[in-house]
């Protein structure tokens, strides 16, 4: 059974950049997937007060592109989301409920295949058109049938869908919404930041339009107004509202003025996203 764990501190160094972990974070190296036929690192943030011999259980948030979530040493361009720092602060201030956060590393060149819900063209400007394999459904099965059961066994989680979140940005935001719609019995709280709505001629619009009965999903949706095509997010919000989502109730929408498509922009929106999806119950 896979069970290799490393405990990190701010003083640890595994690359030329300085690691920037905050709080109690464990790393599961090379977590295997038979479904996808690969291995990836998984980081697990445990909230303040998580003790080995306690019986308290916690909701869980799973985040894609795990290299960017906690650590500047592994993040894109050295800019992290700072989810660990933000969660620590909000939990200690009792502004959100304590939760476990699982950062799932992407697979580099395979990222576009795992995060794409359809077999869209990867680069429309290329002379020779290359298509994604559209493995989002398989990636969803990896999350539901391999990773989540392991996390639920290893840590004191509240395993029900109503306590389980999923989140990401760009293609990670796109796959979050797609998986949420396809598998609402697994994930019910979604962070959808700057989703790649343009993918495959707006395939996500077609998926939303195909919804016959609104699933019990609570959604944080945002975009930056300096992003190309940011108005597409406003259109997506409108389509979700038409399907029954209620603004400020089970969907929160934000247009961040002047924000671009970057890790720094998404890091700035972690705070309100966590407050909306995991409000304090104290």
Q: Strand, coil or helix: what is 220?
A: strand
Domains, in order of start, for the chain: 5-109+138-193+206-277 (3.40.50.1820)
User: What is the crossing angle of helices 270-277 and 83-92, to 10°?
Assistant: 50
**pLDDT for res 127:** 67
DSSP 8-state symbol, 279: B
- Residue 191 phi, psi (nearest 5): -105, 110
**57 to each of 46, 143, 278, how far by Cα in Å?**
11, 20, 14
Question: CB-based burial of residue 119 (10 Å sphere; 0-12 exposed, 13-18 middle, 19+ buried)?
Answer: middle
Question: CB-based burial of residue 257 (10 Å sphere; 0-12 exposed, 13-18 middle, 19+ buried)?
Answer: exposed
**pLDDT for res 14:** 42
Q: How many Å apart are CA 73 and CA 21, to the nearest integer?
A: 9
Residue in the block written with tokens 């598998």: 183
**pLDDT for res 10:** 36
- Which of 207, 141, 143, 125 shows the shortest CA–CA distance to 174? 207
Question: CB-based burial of residue 137 (10 Å sphere; 0-12 exposed, 13-18 middle, 19+ buried)?
Answer: middle
- Which of 220, 263, 272 shows the shortest CA–CA distance to 81? 263
- Assigned token pair, 220: 């944080």
- Assigned token pair, 219: 């959604």
Q: How many Å apart are CA 20 and CA 219, to the nearest integer?
A: 29
One pLDDT digit (tens) per residue for the chain, 282 residues: 454 444 443 334 344 678 999 999 999 999 999 999 999 999 999 999 998 788 999 999 999 999 999 999 999 889 999 999 999 999 999 999 999 999 999 999 999 999 999 999 988 776 677 899 999 999 999 999 999 999 999 999 999 999 999 999 999 999 999 999 999 999 999 999 999 999 999 999 999 999 999 999 999 999 999 999 999 999 999 999 999 999 999 999 999 999 999 999 999 999 999 999 999 987
Pairing of strands 5-8, 24-33: antiparallel
């Amino acid at each position: 059974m896979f069970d290799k764990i490393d405990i990190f501190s701010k003083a640890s160094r595994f690359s030329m950049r300085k690691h920037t972990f905050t709080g109690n974070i464990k790393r599961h190296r090379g977590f295997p997937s038979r479904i996808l036929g690969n291995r990836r690192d998984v980081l697990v943030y445990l909230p303040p007060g998580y003790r080995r011999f306690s019986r308290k259980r916690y909701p869980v948030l799973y985040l894609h592109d795990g290299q960017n979530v906690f650590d500047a040493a592994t993040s894109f361009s050295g800019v992290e989301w700072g989810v660990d720092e933000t969660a620590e602060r909000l939990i200690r201030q009792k502004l959100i409920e304590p939760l476990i956060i699982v950062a799932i590393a992407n697979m580099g060149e395979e990222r576009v295949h795992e995060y794409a819900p359809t077999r869209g063209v990867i680069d429309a400007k290329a002379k020779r058109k290359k298509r994604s394999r559209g493995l989002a459904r398989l990636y969803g099965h990896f999350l539901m049938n391999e990773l989540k059961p392991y996390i639920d066994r290893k840590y004191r989680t509240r395993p029900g869908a109503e306590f389980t979140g999923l989140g990401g940005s760009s293609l990670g935001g796109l796959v979050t919404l797609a998986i949420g719609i396809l598998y609402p019995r697994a994930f019910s709280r979604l962070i959808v930041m700057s989703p790649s709505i343009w993918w495959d001629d707006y395939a996500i619009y077609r998926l939303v339009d195909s919804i016959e009965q609104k699933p019990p999903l609570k959604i944080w949706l945002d975009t930056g107004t300096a992003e190309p095509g940011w108005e597409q997010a406003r259109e997506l919000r409108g389509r979700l509202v038409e399907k029954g989502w209620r603004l400020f109730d089970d969907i929160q929408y934000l247009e961040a003025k002047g924000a671009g498509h970057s890790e720094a922009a998404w890091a700035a929106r972690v705070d309100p996203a966590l407050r909306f999806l995991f409000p304090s119950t104290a």
